[in-house]
Chains A and B, each alone.
Chain A
């Protein structure tokens, strides 16, 4: 009984983000091994945009980007699709278990525009760069695709400029502190906590059954496993409030780098896992290293800071009732679809005429492994330097 109570407490409280990110690194490597694709979300969002246009009779099957992304089937028949269903379910379970659902409206119109415009810029940039914080970063770097490194470098530059804008007095929060003489009472409703917890459990069990149904009844083990992994990804990002945007943004806003460093450790773990699967014959996901990645990284980094969250961060916040992030999600899908729309005009000069650089081919198998770890170490040093720089500046102020 006591064990159950403790277990319940674990499900309701927040989880520590650092072990959570490392767990995501481990899971993402297994996910690649089992499904043959990496953990990614924006590609599927782009397909949703395509399906939306199809509703109005637009023939997107002739668009180059949808040929590249293969828009066949639907959300229930694609690995990325069922993974995202699982992710949403994991996020919903986490939010309801933690009594963390509340209808939160944006405070003013500035925030609404920030969410929409930032979301569109981030969605466009991510797809131009062939992935977001996942496919061109957290799960892209462990694929040894050099494009992910270039994307990451320029994303950092974009984040820096995004912070400059987001901290401009026009965007700053106008809320000031007041003198008080007592703590503010917070609502605490045991009945609601109970109901929410039960609902979270219901969603969690439902998604497990759905996944098992896919594996054993429909004989689609890959889809079922993708759904289970999605649920785990969603549960972890929501319980630990993992925010890739905050990991980099806050090095510049408050000099906090814990999460960025944890993400590097997560990628170091994933690198080894993915390397093992590649050695066993899995095909790596390699994309062009061209101007598309430079521009995409800049736009993406800028957009996520303006919006306040990235393509995977909006998902768990949206189900927590944060209306701001419903708008970011819509913005992401609009931006990604816009990119698909212009892709055929820009793809050759910006992307497809450029080489696909696989570090494992450029430097040899083990040379590439060492190169990837060397770059991860360099990234770690850059973060430490940026953090020191912020703290020195803030002390002098």
Chain B
């Protein structure tokens, strides 16, 4: 899963926030990105595993990476 080559342009670290806030802030943040830019989302709300990737696809963003090996999950999305 680990792909060291992806370098994000922005990060939003949502650790400590329960759902739905990680998903909501992710979508808000993605709106501010330019096409092609990459956002890294860090969340320790495990339920976000069912939210963030699905929302990203529904809103037309690309999911580049999901690292869910531990309690803190990393998502990398591209606009």
Which residues of A are at the interface with B, using a C-beta cutoff of 8 A? 13-14, 17, 99-102, 104-107, 111, 166-167, 172-173, 175-184, 186-188, 193, 240-241, 243, 246, 249-250, 253-256, 258-259, 308-309, 317, 320-322, 324-325, 391, 394
Contact = CB atoms under 8 A, between A and B. Distances in A.
Enumerate the 10 nearest inter-chain pairs by beta-carbon distance, A residue then B residue, closest first. Answer: A102-B71, A177-B12, A173-B21, A107-B16, A177-B29, A180-B11, A308-B18, A177-B10, A241-B47, A254-B55
B71 A184 contact: no
A75 B39 CA distance: 48
A259 B74 contact: no
A243 B50 contact: yes
Interface in B21-67: 21-25, 27, 29, 32, 39-40, 42, 44-47, 49-51, 54-55, 58-59, 67
Contacts of B18: 106, 111, 308-309, 322, 324-325
Interface of B: 4, 6-25, 27, 29, 32, 39-40, 42, 44-47, 49-51, 54-55, 58-59, 67-72, 74, 76
Contacts of B69: 99, 186, 188
B24 A104 contact: no
Given A102-B72, A308-B19, 17 more contacts: A14-B49, A14-B68, A17-B50, A104-B15, A104-B44, A111-B18, A173-B24, A177-B32, A178-B11, A180-B8, A183-B11, A187-B70, A187-B72, A250-B20, A254-B23, A254-B24, A254-B55
A104 B23 contact: no
17 contacts: A101-B71, A105-B16, A107-B16, A167-B24, A172-B21, A178-B12, A178-B13, A183-B74, A243-B47, A246-B47, A246-B51, A253-B23, A254-B20, A254-B23, A308-B19, A320-B71, A325-B18
A253 B59 CA distance: 13
